[in-house]
Structure 1
Amino acid sequence: MPFLCLCFVICWLDRVNISFAHLQFKNDLNINDASFGLIVGALSLGCLIFDIPGTLMLEKYGAKKTITRVMILWGIATIGTAFARTTGQFYIFRFLLGAAEAGFFPGVILYLTYWFPTAWRARISSRFIIAIGICGIVGGPLASWIMTHLNDVGGFRGWQWLFIFTGILPLIIGFIAWFWLDDRPEQARWLTKDEKRLVLQLLNDDKGQAKENGKDSLFKALKDYRVWVIIISYVLTIICTGNVVNFWAPSIIKESGNISLGSVGMLSSLPWTIGVVAMLIVSRLSDHYQERRWFFAGGVISIISALVILPFVLHNAVYTVLTLVLMSSGYLVATAIYWTIPSQYFSEKSKAGCIALVSLFGQLGQILVPAFIGYLKNQTGSITSALHFVTVFISLGLILLLAGIPGNTLLKK
């Protein structure tokens, strides 16, 4: 789990480093907010096309080969982004980054089901998704330090050094993954025979107790309206929130007062620090009570509350950061709890394809939502109107999941 978390930290850093780089290259290259929204979404277009094949490849070829390939390719794509000079070139490199990364997140969610029974899923998911929080904690200060202290060193701007440095990391980790990861418990060199037998017995018992929903293939699963409820609610809640906290938070903080680039990095880490603690606590409680829907709802309600408050405090740095604390905490809690729902609802035979399908539609949302936010911000000069729309979307997503997924569909016999 620590190694998978490290992989995801680096993955997420490569995804969101553009939110800090944008603070500098938007002036260097004359790129407006609407174009930036499209650049952010270009990554998801690559994921959209290759997410399902990437996840199915992990199921077929194993985590060792898949994660090694993914990390090396996305390191190359990230380094390439440092040399983009036009909006079109940014589109290309971000698309290539998405294509390289495709299948990583849903693949790991699937991979975890090979190792841990249902009753452990929330806390295990949180230990993987904690990477988003860790990236938020260290990513901001790291990005601002690189962009400030390495600016114009060797003829490269600070934002270019940011892409180069964060691209070298996955190249190194990718080679380590080949020697570190085991595809299944029975192949683990670090487990004794008795430990392997125990783990496999727990997993077999878990499969035997799982509630059968008649979805023994991906095509049959797609006829179940609840599968679409799970997918659509993911786009409306997790994806919409993620676009605000991951890609626009640095700009929101910077515009809330006369704040330097270095201070933006430090202030952006505070919401994630508190959010990580909240996620770990709530995930453990979710496993203890074996309740998913209402713990997920609690996280989403925190997000909605923050979005209602944020437009009124955008010009006060202290209140803005505190509101982002509430939003980031809700986002991490909701994300960790959410991924227990599809992995618990889908059958073993359809699980890989369905989880990939959730991620695929999430990538579609990642294309549309940042472009939508960027367009409204560019047209109005403020992010306020976009926040109002996002609040409505998230509220609808929560209502849809609570109404469409009854609690008894996630229980064991």
Structure 2
Amino acid sequence: MFFKKLYVRIWLAVVLAVAVLTLLVGWAWRLTAEPPLRNVVIRDHVGRIIGNGHSRMRRPPDIGFGENSDRAPDAQDRWLGPYSQYGNDPEFVVLMNDGQMVHLQFPRPPQSPWSRPPFGFFWTLSLVGIAVALATYPIIRKLTRRLELLQNGVEKWGEGDLSIRVPEAGADEVTFLAARFNHAAERIETLVKSHESLLASQKSLLANASHELRSPLTRIRMGLELMGSSASPAFKNEISRNISELDQLIEEILLASRLDAREADMGTIESVDLIGLAAEECARVNAELDVQLASDPSATQAEPAGPSDLPVQGVTKLLRRAMRNLLENAKRHAAGEITVTLRKTDRQAVISVCDRGPGVPPGLQERIFEPFYRLPGATERDGGVGLGLALVKSIALRHGGTVSCENRPDGGACFVVRLPLSPVDKV
């Protein structure tokens, strides 16, 4: 984990690069350095050369010369070679003009084994690496710390804290990136707040309008009853039906407004028998009910469940409204039978309402749960204003569950509600 940090990798790369550079420079310096003196000239008191010697760095094969040798080099072959008899220090053996020999030795000061090649060079390289590491660490850490601050800011912003901003210190590319992020975050925060304010105003308007519409609806209903026999039965039935639809719409708008207000108390939380509730609602629309209970998670066959085997914690009237809206939606668009399936998993109760209608295009399976959204091509005669499925989603979310839409392979759509079996604190 330590080596995954950006500043550690940059730091190690700089140290390694400097160490390799030092190694190459030292190697080139050793190659290009001037060789030690290998030519000796001996002069007399008036400056005449009386002898000289030149190093060939190797010993002539036909001459054996040393402390134990009685042979001397030829007068025309003045040379100097490394003789093991004299040790490893620099030596010069010079043949004089009179035939005498001069032997010069230059002993080196004693050296520790750790200071001799190659250890001495490695020590130097290590010291250079340590010096570079100590000098570059603060600089690289300062740079990468700003990147870490930017990363933390982006993560918090992505988690939903739109008010987060990152510091803009310096005048390099990191500062420019931080400034661009702050500018974008500020614009998005402004847009989100404007959208939330608009939605709040819209919900408040709908709620107030719904309350205000109840009074004229009551007066219209009373006037219809006072008309007596002066109006035809068909006319009265049509007006009654329209009033009922308008009254249902107002009720749904009020319920949606209360569901959106998280602080609103929606009712008493109790144990709800989903099987009994589903059976009652299926009987209203003549839908088929299929109850399944998996006794073993690894089993492939499901067993029929009893009427009290699938209880969930929630508000009965809200769960009934969700079930009724799904069945009415299926009845409105179905071209055949409607099937309601109840299943139990390890932690969830699953409600599936399937029909044989045209289905929902994949790109619109999320949008149909938005308030007042209707599928393209829907007409007034199809009924509904686009609040039924939005209420189902709000009710499922208030109970800690989810809702989704899936198309059936053989035609039609299935709306699947998943509710937790664990108790909920508040709805």
Instruction: Judge same fold: TM > 0.5, yes or no.
Output: no
Please identify which structure carries the higher helix content. Answer: 1
Question: What interval of TM-score do these two structures reach, taking the shorter chain for normalisation?
Answer: under 0.3
Please identify which structure carries the higher strand content. Answer: 2
TM-score of the two chains, using structure 1 as the length reference: 0.19
